[in-house]
Amino acid sequence: MKKQSFFRSLHPKDRYMVGNLFFLYLIQGVFVIMIGSILPMIKEEYGLSYQVGGFLISAHSIGNMITGLIAGVLPLLFGLRRSLLGLNILPFAGFAIVLVTGNPWMLIFALLLTGLGRGAVSNYNNQIISALSKGSAAPLNMLHGFFAIGAVMAPFLVLLFTQADSSGWRKVIYVVIGLGAISMGTSYFMNMDSVPYSRPEGETRAFGFLRDRPFQISMAIMFFYLCVEASVMGWMVTYYTDSGTAGGGSAQLLTSLLWITILAGRFGCSVLSARMVPPRMILILCAGIVVFLCILLISTSLVLMLVGTIGLGLSLSGMYGTTVANAGSVFGEYPLAMGIFVTVSTLGSVITPSIIGGIAAYTGIRAGMTVLLVPSVITLVLAVCNCRICAENREALSSRDAGKQ
């Protein structure tokens, strides 16, 4: 008998909810990548330094991290839908602040708000899809595929409005705020009663996932992976332009190419996940990140930069969804698990962009971006360890099941 697809297996009201969550992730893809795409223009118009640019990217990541701390608790107090709706409005309030002031501290606060909203959508989306799909990698990679669709759209939106006038970045923000208003309307009608989200019995039960080895190694992998991903998202357009390899328009197109390959890779990974276990896929993707990041960083020609961009995009593509799936079913069993996972792993995306900005201010953006080789190599080493840990975990479970029979 042919296995029913994830979407078709859902109740109609759950299909609307899942479809809307995918739409929210698409919008998130637009505004997260838009931040990096318009950062050079904001930096120029407001007279900001590389260091302030790094602080802005880190502020976004700090907001994302803070949400991880509170996201597991809020639904227990206010319900899942109200928590999602309340936090989802914050990014668009943050972008409104960016439109009216160039004060560095206000801009940092604005980017903090965008991160808070991003963290909420990311946290709840991943937890809900993981729970409904029972930890399957395919729906999670499909979810992140919709983020990639939005990410592909972002540079084209920026190009559309800024090609003739560099101050057109403000119009891009108006479009994003409009999309945010639509998402608030569609989210209001979601019914989330079927999502498993209950208060665990006892403190030990609430934090039992912290002793789970696949969860621990998955969180470590995600920490170092996000060092790379957040920096690529925030600094790549600046790297393309300031390294002298590509002009402003070409840099936006290269960023779109990066996300087109990430999009293709995520949908490809959702298919491959049915044939390949998460540890093996993570190992292949981590090896690709190291190889193609090296090519991108040493490239002085547009051809090599194209090769590095395409390869890096494919390598980054399936990491998030597959790493969440690698942790197993803990996110459905423990309401606080996703919050802790996001909080700890997001620390990587807080630290690295600021380090790059600080180095770039003194030695240039190319030298700053070489910092990414450190977390990428560590991620590869952890991926090798993950294969062994997950194999041992499977053997232990098999032995336990055999003992029960």
Task: Indicate the CATH number for domain 12-192+208-404.
Answer: 1.20.1250.20
Q: What is the pTM of this model?
A: 0.72
The pLDDT of residue 194: 67
Give 48-62 as a DSSP string.
--HHHHHHHHHHHHH
Closest CA to 143 of 27, 24, 22: 22
**Rounded Cα gap, residues 242 and 156, in angstroms:** 20
* Longest alpha-carbon distance in the chain: 72
Torsion of CA 126, 344, 368, 250, to 10 degrees: 10
Tokens of 369: 């971006």
Q: Where are the alpha helices (DSSP H) in 189-277?
A: 203-206, 213-242, 248-272
- Polymer length of the chain: 405
On whether the CB atoms of residues 316 and 260 are closer than 8 A, the answer is no
Burial 292-330 (b: 16+ CB within 10 A, else e): bbbbbbebeeeeebbebbbbbbbbbbbbbbbbbbbbbbb
**Rounded Cα gap, residues 47 and 30, in angstroms:** 25
The pLDDT of residue 292: 95
Tokens of 323: 């790493």
Q: How much of the chain is in helix, strand and coil states, percent to nearest 5?
A: 85, 0, 15
**Rounded Cα gap, residues 116 and 104, in angstroms:** 18
What would the pLDDT profile of 53-111 be if each residue is shown by its tens digit?
Answer: 888 888 888 888 888 778 777 887 888 888 888 888 999 999 999 999 889 999 999 99
Neighbouring residues of 71: CB distance < 8 A, sequence distance ≥ 6: 83, 87, 119, 120, 123, 124, 338, 339, 342
On whether the CB atoms of residues 255 and 33 are closer than 8 A, the answer is yes
Question: Over its length of 405 residues, how does the chain's per-residue pLDDT go in tens digits?
Answer: 455 677 777 777 888 888 899 999 999 989 888 888 888 889 888 998 888 888 888 888 888 888 877 877 788 788 888 888 888 899 999 999 999 988 999 999 999 999 999 888 888 888 788 778 776 777 877 888 888 888 888 888 888 888 877 778 899 999 999 999 999 999 888 887 767 655 555 444 567 788 888 889 999 999 999 999 888 877 887 888 777 776 667 777 787 788 889 888 888 887 887 788 889 999 999 999 999 999 988 887 778 888 998 999 999 988 988 888 888 777 767 767 877 887 888 888 888 888 888 898 888 888 899 999 999 999 999 999 999 888 877 766 665 555 555
Phi, psi of 197 (to 5 degrees): -150, 90
Locate the domains of the chain by residue range: 12-192+208-404
The pLDDT of residue 132: 80
**Rounded Cα gap, residues 379 and 252, in angstroms:** 28
Distances from the Cα of 288 to the Cαs of 19, 129, 182, in angstroms?
31, 27, 38
**Rounded Cα gap, residues 350 and 357, in angstroms:** 12
Cβ-in-10-Å burial (0-12, 13-18, 19+) of 403 comes to: exposed
The pLDDT of residue 247: 67
The pLDDT of residue 269: 81
The pLDDT of residue 1: 46
